[in-house]
Amino acid sequence: MPAMVEPPFSNPLFSSKISHNLKSVHCSSQAPNFLPIRYNNRVTTTACSCSAENVDPAPVLLPHSIVFSRNPNLSSDISNRTTKDRREVVRLAWEKLVRWSRSWRSKAKTDDVLERTNKVVVLGGGSFGTAMAAHVGNRKSHLEVNMLVRDPRICQSINKKHCNIKYFPEHKLPKNVVATTDTKAALLNADFCLHAVPVQFSSSFLEGIADCVDPGLPFISLSKGLELNTLRMMSQIIPRALGNPRQPYIVLSGPSFALELMNNLPTAMVVASKDKKLAKAAQQLLASTNLRISTSSDVTGVEIAGALKNVLAIAAGIVEGMNLGNNSMAALVAQGCSEIRWLATKMGAKSTTITGLSGTGDIMLTCFVNLSRNRTVGVRLGSGENLDDILRSMNQVAEGVSTAGAVIALAQKYNVKMPVLTAVARIIDNELTPQKAVRELMSLPQGNTMNDCGYPIQGES
């Protein structure tokens, strides 16, 4: 009878030798194969042929384990070779990636921008401004990094103790990082300016120093949020406040906690500018072995994601503070991501920006990690604390609190429905309790799940 045997493997990664061994168990129409088979303690020989003349009237199906019983080590040998072949494929793929990376780096220009840069000024003495000042200072020992601060105590601690006594008392700053309260001295002959002043104070601050700012000085904005009354982003605030619509502008954003930057932990961020050469220059200035910098031309997408993720982080914190569980957290953040994408794309942003490093990457960090100031505010709100008491106890600004109302006004302007972020704004305004907000969100109409994820309502009307 013909032994009906199916080869145990059909992976194209197998070597030709293994394939050749397996062919011996296939049927042939030209010459029958005889396979010794042990059955009921007797060794019999079975002919295998696909010709009609040799078909046994009472066929018996023999499993391949019986067929290979004469060589019990064959299956193990095939398995070992499969593992070896798989590892070889992985090794070759990795080596190809490394070769591509080395080739790309060898063709890329050297860090000529860093070589030409002699002075960088950082506006603001907060945690992130301090971390970026330290990072830039470590890029080149003879690079002068000036921090313009308003608190004399912080200024003195940076210059005498080489630390920011308020935010990083145990972290030493590079010796080329100095602080001053003198605006003219800080901005004189600066090649780049890192703006780290909170969004709600930026307009008045910049208007006060406008006379000292060179019209060609590139501003790299580290601030995230929307101006409450005007709904402007930093790309609109800075040129307007300085009275120079052509002020060179770059936005830096992405998943990055100041503490981890100070500890030199691997981080990845995005610089975005409408001027590709300017974005490239910022990349060359900031990129290092610990900080990976990608470039983008989607300024709106990077800024709106950076602003709205703070509001979503408050919502995530509320869910945590109310102990609503992981299911609720996942549903809420997924819905929030959709709402951010709906608004951003209506404003002209690219959806790929929102799903990328400066969008989803930053959202995940801010929503799920305890170091997030905005998430902390949400946790305390969900636990029943009063917002005013929460803000009074914090020594840093949670931008999501002031941004929430602006986000909803912006959503109304672009006619976009944002249930989760609207609920946050209502809670912050003390017009809705977290408990009632959850009930309202869960009772929204059940819609078509084939649309955007989360609460099944249309993102756009």
Q: Sign of the C-alpha dihedral, residues 325, 460, 255, 311? A: negative
Q: Sign of the C-alpha dihedral, residues 424, 425, 427, 432? A: negative
Q: Which of 17, 109, 140, 309 is catalytic?
A: 309
Q: Kindly report, residue by residue over 125-184, the tens digit of the pLDDT.
A: 999 999 999 999 999 999 999 999 999 999 999 999 999 999 999 999 999 999 999 999
Q: What is the pTM of this model?
A: 0.78
Burial of 80 (0-12, 13-18, 19+ CB in 10 A): exposed
Q: Which residues pair with 291 in a beta bridge?
A: 267
Residue 199: how many other CB atoms lie within 10 Å = 24
Mean pLDDT value of segment 341-351: 96
Q: Is residue 309 annotated as a catalytic residue, yes or no? A: yes
- pLDDT over threshold 90, residue 84: no
- pLDDT over threshold 80, residue 209: yes
Q: Kindly report, residue by residue over 251-268, the tens digit of the pLDDT.
A: 999 999 999 999 999 999
DSSP-derived pairing of the beta strands 249-253 and 267-272:
antiparallel
Closest CA to 55 of 36, 39, 26, 32: 32
- pLDDT over threshold 50, residue 417: yes
Q: Kindly report, residue by residue over 50-63, the tens digit of the pLDDT.
A: 444 444 444 444 44
> What's the CA gap between 377 and 375, in Å, rounded?
5
Closest CA to 28 of 52, 56, 49, 5: 49
Residue 368: how many other CB atoms lie within 10 Å = 14
End-to-end CA distance of the chain: 70
> What's the CA gap between 198 and 228, in Å, rounded?
12
Closest CA to 339 of 262, 273, 424: 424
> What's the CA gap between 167 and 162, in Å, rounded?
12
| H-type alpha helices, 183-232 | 183-187, 199-209
Q: Kindly report, residue by residue over 283-310, the tens digit of the pLDDT.
A: 999 999 999 999 999 999 999 999 999 9
CB contact burial 278-298 (16+ within 10 A = b; e otherwise) = bbbbbbbbbbbeebbbbbbeb
